[in-house]
Chains A and B, each alone.
Chain A
Amino acid sequence: MATEDVRYRQSSQYRLWSFSPSKLASMRETTNALARASISERMLASNSLPASNNPSAPTSGVNTPEPDGATPTPTPTLPEFLTPAEELMLVTLYTSELLRAGEHMGLTDEITSTAAALFRRFYITNSIMTYPPKDMIVVSLFFGCKAEGTFPSVDHFVKALHKKGPEEILAGEFLLCQSVRFALDVKHPFRALKGATMELRRYGDIEQSRIEEAERHAREILRFSPHMTDAYFHYTPSQIMLAALSLADRGLAERLIQATFHYVAPSTSNDSDTPMANSDVGTKEARREAKAGEDQAAIIGSYVRDKVLGTIEACRDMLSKELPDRKDHWSSIAVFKVQFRPTTRKLTKCHDPDRWDLVALQRRRREQVMDKADSEDGDPEARAGTGTAAKATVDSDAAVFGGALEPRDNKRRKVLDDPFGGPL
């Protein structure tokens, strides 16, 4: 096994964020199903649905059935949820916006690409109906900067992307980190492209201008196409790089692959000539050589070459669906109106009522943590009783109606349970 591959397999990108297409699809479906279930549950619980089939009746939730009346109890209808395919389409749309935002801010290719990769990873385990993609774009960009080792101020981001305040960006940071399983190191094909062109230059018989042109074009592709597709999940950076290179200049990519996987097994006729005449030492030597040859063949043999070529071809097909000239397509308003407007409208109706506002979500969680700390200080029953898990969910549900009553409640309970009786 090639040492380079062994090293690549150590990366979090391979271990946590590489999937076969079927698995990726099934993951998206699972996420979508879970989001549907939890969102509809929360919508019903929070009573925020318009009772659409009977607009004249007063809106009411299922929890408080009306006193028996002439009008039948209006059952609130759930909005139509996005399908996994629609979700993917929207994620791709917002990825293109993210790329544009990165370009607008003058961020480097690596930062923008890291942000895009994090963004797409985030929306594999989270539905786009749960967390707001427009906010997550900014969060991803800001965090991409940090992940790539540049540390801009939040205010700069707020100003450049016309946000309301820094908390809007900071609120989603931990959420993003957690959702990408803290795998912040994204491996990109950009440096690989430089390595490949170095190697091509070394061959000496290719014109400089051709290499330069191919590199420029390939880099252009790498900036856009892999992020608009699932290439980062299905292929390794070197494969993506070679696919882009072959889109830019097929001959160069093939030349590089042929030169790399150059091992040809020595013809066996020499060995089979005098197999019996060989001494024991000779056969041992031959066997060892054969073993070394097998190893070489497994690393740079023709079988591997064909397989790599097949993979790169598949990657090339994937990238060619979203070549950089489709940028205009994604950013044009006309196309947006026709293609995406219906879906985004749908999204505004079916998004998660609790989690759409990241700032409020974070504030709520903070309060909840504080409350928990308070109650743990205050009454030991809460800890010993139903268990913290159940308590926390009760708290969070109660927090929807405002958490102001909570402390007083605690105090009252404490007084009642006081073994020495109430206050004098």
Chain B
Amino acid sequence: MSRKPIANARGPASGSTTSAALPGLSSDDMCPVCKTIRYLNKDMEFLIHPDCYHFMCSNCVNRIFNDGPNQCPYAGCHRTLRRKGFRTPFFGDLTVEREVDIRRRVAAVFNQHEEDFRTLRDYNNYLGMVEDLTFELVSGTDAQRSSAEAQLQQWEAEHKADIERNRKAGREADEASRRRIAAERDAARQRRIDAIKEAEEEKLERARTREAELDTLASAPEGQRPGGGVQLKRRVQVNRAVEAAAAATTNAAGVPGGGVAGAQPPMITKLSIQGLKEKRKPPAPEGPYDPFGGMDFVPSRYKLHDGLVHPDVDKYRFDLAHATGGYSFDDYRARAMFEAFAGLGVFIEDEKEVGSGLSASEVAAMSAGIAAVGDKMELD
């Protein structure tokens, strides 16, 4: 427990349920009802009731309220309390305890997000209104407090659905982030385990290979030894590579699955907050990037048949310079065929008469530029 009860902390005259200031709670204090001191009862525990924030020891609570609702034993406090409402205060200063309680309650009712508002200014106005209300509830006069209370209740009644929805959204977001973090942690652990396992396997494999090599060397006849060893090693390497690839795919399948499961709920929450968020969402990605801008490379006028030969091309087939890597006769054929049929249906006379390209005025301007202002053009 990090909290530190403050011995004689007295909150400002808060004008709360009791007109007097709330008494401070302290560990070495005595119970104001039964006057027991901690020296006599080591396990003494002070409890408060959120109606009036008067503290008393748990024994007193049991004694007074066991038989049903009863009046607060403090002098001048006429609240009727139930045992069920008593709890251990979190803060030593009961004024703080009370303010936190009130703030929690207000926040549960006014639980709008910034995204719900059209402008930042609207949101800030809303926050100011909420803060005013809270302040009145915490440290206003009686009249202010009652009116603020009435406002709060009215708001709560009117906007029940909204509040409920927001609350649910908040819960879901919390839940989602928790799940995501858990999934990430799981994945990391899984990866670690896999890595350890792989390392172990590799070590084992190495030992086994070594043994196998020694065996072959021992058993094989003279001529075959080195070759056999090499072959074996290679096979082992291939095996290991295959295994690694398989493991990688399963990993990949596992981790993104978790990621997706974790990532999906935020999408839902985004949708359920309100319609505003959807508009701001960036456009969905249109699949992988296409460097050719959607150009189609399947020929539509001709087919690349097998029997395409040309004596000028075939004579290079056995030429060493062309037989080296990188030169493809098929590519040449494809290119020649493409050039033979590309642009057959392009009728420049029709298309360039009004179409795009270099317009006459543009050309005139350009040649004027070159002819007249050419002196200024950048050199080299």
Contact = CB atoms under 8 A, between A and B. Distances in A.
Interface of A: 1-10, 14-23, 26-27, 30-31, 34-35, 38, 124-127, 130, 174, 178-179, 181, 187, 189, 191-199, 201-202, 212, 233-239, 241-242, 260, 299-300, 304, 307-308, 311, 355, 362, 365-366, 368-369, 389, 392-393, 396
The 4 closest A-B pairs by CB, nearest first: A236-B343, A195-B340, A195-B336, A8-B343
A3 B296 contact: yes
A198 B310 contact: yes
B316 to A, nearest CB: 12
B379 A365 contact: yes
B295 interface: yes
Given A4-B344, A14-B346, A260-B341, A202 B300 contact: no
Contact of B336 (A124, A191, A366): A191
B297 to A, nearest CB: 7
B342 A7 contact: yes
B121 interface: no
A35 B372 CA distance: 9
B302 interface: yes
Contacts of A392: 375-376
19 contacts: A125-B367, A178-B370, A178-B377, A194-B312, A195-B340, A197-B310, A199-B340, A236-B342, A236-B343, A236-B346, A238-B339, A239-B344, A260-B302, A299-B300, A300-B300, A311-B349, A365-B375, A366-B379, A396-B375
A23 to B, nearest CB: 6
B345 A20 contact: no
B301 A8 contact: no
A199 B341 CA distance: 11
Contact of A18 (B300, B302, B352, B373): B352
Interface string B224-245: 0000000000000000000000
A390 B374 CA distance: 13
A contact face: mostly helix, strand, loop, or mixed? helix
A126 B374 CA distance: 12
A6 B305 contact: no
A16 B342 contact: no
B298 interface: yes
Interface stretch (B28-36, B264-272, B358-366): B358-366
Given A2-B345, A127-B371, 19 more contacts: A4-B341, A14-B346, A18-B357, A23-B360, A125-B367, A126-B370, A130-B371, A192-B336, A193-B340, A195-B333, A195-B335, A195-B337, A196-B340, A198-B333, A236-B346, A236-B348, A238-B340, A238-B341, A307-B347
A199 B302 contact: yes
A125 B353 contact: no
A315 B307 CA distance: 30
Contact of A174 (B339, B356, B380): B380
A199 B344 contact: no
Contacts of A260: 301-302, 341, 344
B299 interface: yes
Contacts of A308: 344-345
Contacts of B372: 34, 38
- Which among B313, B345, B376 has the highest number of chain A CB atoms within 10 Å? B345
B308 interface: yes
Contacts of A389: 373, 376
B252 interface: no
- Which among A10, A27, A174, A241 has the highest number of chain B CB atoms within 10 Å? A27
A17 B298 CA distance: 26
Given A7-B342, A23-B353, A300-B301, A34 B364 contact: yes
Given A6-B296, A197-B310, A239 B367 contact: no
B338 interface: yes
A337 B142 CA distance: 119
Nearest to B339: A192
A276 B335 CA distance: 48
A30 B363 contact: yes
B371 A38 contact: yes
A233 B368 CA distance: 21
Nearest to A397: B375
B349 A20 contact: yes
Contacts of B296: 3, 6
Contacts of B350: 20
A199 B309 CA distance: 8
Nearest to B372: A38
A201 B309 contact: yes
A194 B313 contact: yes
Interface string B322-341: 00000000000101111111
Given A14-B346, A21-B349, A202 B305 contact: yes
A5 B371 contact: no
B363 A8 contact: no
B340 A241 contact: yes
A7 B357 CA distance: 16
Interface string B48-67: 00000000000000000000
A20 B335 contact: no
B376 A30 contact: no
Contacts of A31: 363, 367
Interface in B261-298: 295-298
Nearest to A187: B339
A393 B371 contact: no
A298 B301 CA distance: 11
A8 B342 contact: yes
A375 B335 CA distance: 54
- Which among B336, B346, B372 has the highest number of chain A CB atoms within 10 Å? B346
B303 to A, nearest CB: 10
A30 B379 CA distance: 26
B358 A16 contact: yes
Contacts of A38: 371-372
Nearest to A33: B364
Contact of A6 (B295, B309, B312, B371): B295
A300 B300 CA distance: 8
Given A23-B352, A198-B336, A7 B344 contact: no
Interface string B307-321: 111111100000000
A238 B100 CA distance: 84
Contact of B343 (A4, A20, A195): A4
Nearest to A369: B379
B159 to A, nearest CB: 51
A2 B308 CA distance: 22
Contacts of B297: 3, 7
Contacts of A125: 363, 366-367, 370
B344 A26 contact: no
B348 A18 contact: yes
Given A30-B363, A234-B348, A369-B379, A5 B336 contact: no
Contacts of A5: 342-346
